[in-house]
């Protein structure tokens, strides 16, 4: 399945009248003003999606900071965003897809196939000279039916066992992996056996994904060459979805550990490793 769409292709879809649901997922750790950013300027007809309240269940220490939302709740949200059965959905943000990938993964997990990340996000759109709009967009109620489980996922115990036979990638910044700093979770470090694979390295300087060949080479160097199963975690299961998208572009199917380190580190009986080695 296609993972990305570039700004020019999206613009052609929109101007040719092809039905496209566009969703804006402006969010960043430590920046609660995503809605304000959206109101100040967004793609034409884009509907705002709130990551904290619509793409996650309420935080629980033992389940992590962003547990997956209930499938019924996600379906109700998707209908509010205007998604109908069979629609093509394009999701974007202003951070290289780091937050939009969460929605990409959830909709794919719910059974939608035509879900695309806008490569380069808002920056790529405006750099191309395409227009933006201000204010709030309201969508007509959709009729989409979503399930759950179409994308592979791991629980906490499975994640702990995974490095024995597979490649477990830690998508956080290297300093958090090593345990040098930990700004939000109760213990620093990483899941023993996990390999450091910061999500930011999936992108070029322009905020767009590297080519499929470059991504495949990157993951091959990390041990994810397609010969063993691959899984990904991050702090709370958000940016790990970006890594899963990058792996998909490279031709590698990967599972998500949704609870990620925010869940793992809240269980004092579970081991945590520090330093640069798995």
DSSP string, 108-128: HHTT-S-EEEETTHHHHHHHT
Long-range contact pairs involving 181-184 (C-beta distance under 8 Å, separation at least 24): 184/29, 184/65, 184/235, 184/262
User: Which residue among 78, 95, 234, 255 is the active-site one?
Assistant: 234
Q: Following CA atoms 53, 60, 157, 192 in sequence, which dihedral angle do they give, to the nearest 10 degrees?
A: 100
Sheet holding 167-170, edge to edge: 195-196, 167-170, 230-233, 254-256
Specify whether the CB–CB gap between 56 and 67 falls below 8 A: yes
Alpha-helical regions (H) of the chain: 7-15, 34-40, 51-54, 71-80, 100-109, 121-127, 156-161, 174-178, 212-221, 239-249, 260-264
What span, in angstroms and rounded, lies between the C-alpha atoms of 109 and 193?
27
Helical (H) or strand (E) element with 142: none
Helix (H, G, I), strand (E, B) or coil at 137: coil
Contact assessment for residue 194 and residue 183, using Cβ atoms and an 8 Å cutoff:
no
Residue 234 annotated among the catalytic residues of the structure: yes
Cα separation of 55 and 44, whole Å? Answer: 22
Instruction: Give the number of other Cβ atoms within 10 Å of residue 75's Cβ.
Output: 19
The residue behind tokens 């069979």 is 86
Active site residues: 234
């Amino acid at each position: 399945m296609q993972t990305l769409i570039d700004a020019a292709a999206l613009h052609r879809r929109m101007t040719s009248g092809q039905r496209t649901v566009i969703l804006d997922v402006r969010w960043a750790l430590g920046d609660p003003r995503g809605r304000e950013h959206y109101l100040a300027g967004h793609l034409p007809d884009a509907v705002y999606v709130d990551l904290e309240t619509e793409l996650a269940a309420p935080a629980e220490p033992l389940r992590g900071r962003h547990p997956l939302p209930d499938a019924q709740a996600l379906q109700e949200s998707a209908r509010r965003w205007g998604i109908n059965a069979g629609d093509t959905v394009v999701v974007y943000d202003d951070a290289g897809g780091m937050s939009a990938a969460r929605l990409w993964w959830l909709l794919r997990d719910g059974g939608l196939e035509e879900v695309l990340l806008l490569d380069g996000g808002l920056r790529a759109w405006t750099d191309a000279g395409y227009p933006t709009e201000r204010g709030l967009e309201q969508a007509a109620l959709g009729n989409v039916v979503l399930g759950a489980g179409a994308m592979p996922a791991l629980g906490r115990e499975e994640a702990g066992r995974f490095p024995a036979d597979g490649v477990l990638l830690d998508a956080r910044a290297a300093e958090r992996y090593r345990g040098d700093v930990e700004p939000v979770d109760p213990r620093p470090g990483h899941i023993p056996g996990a390999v450091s694979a910061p999500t930011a390295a999936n992108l070029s300087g322009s905020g767009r994904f590297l080519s499929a060949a470059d991504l495949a080479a990157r993951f091959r160097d990390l041990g994810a060459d397609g010969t063993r199963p691959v899984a990904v975690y991050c702090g709370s299961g958000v940016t790990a979805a970006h890594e899963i998208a990058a792996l998909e572009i490279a031709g590698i199917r990967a599972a998500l550990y949704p609870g990620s380190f925010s869940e793992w580190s809240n269980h004092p009986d579970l081991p945590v490793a520090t330093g640069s080695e798995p």
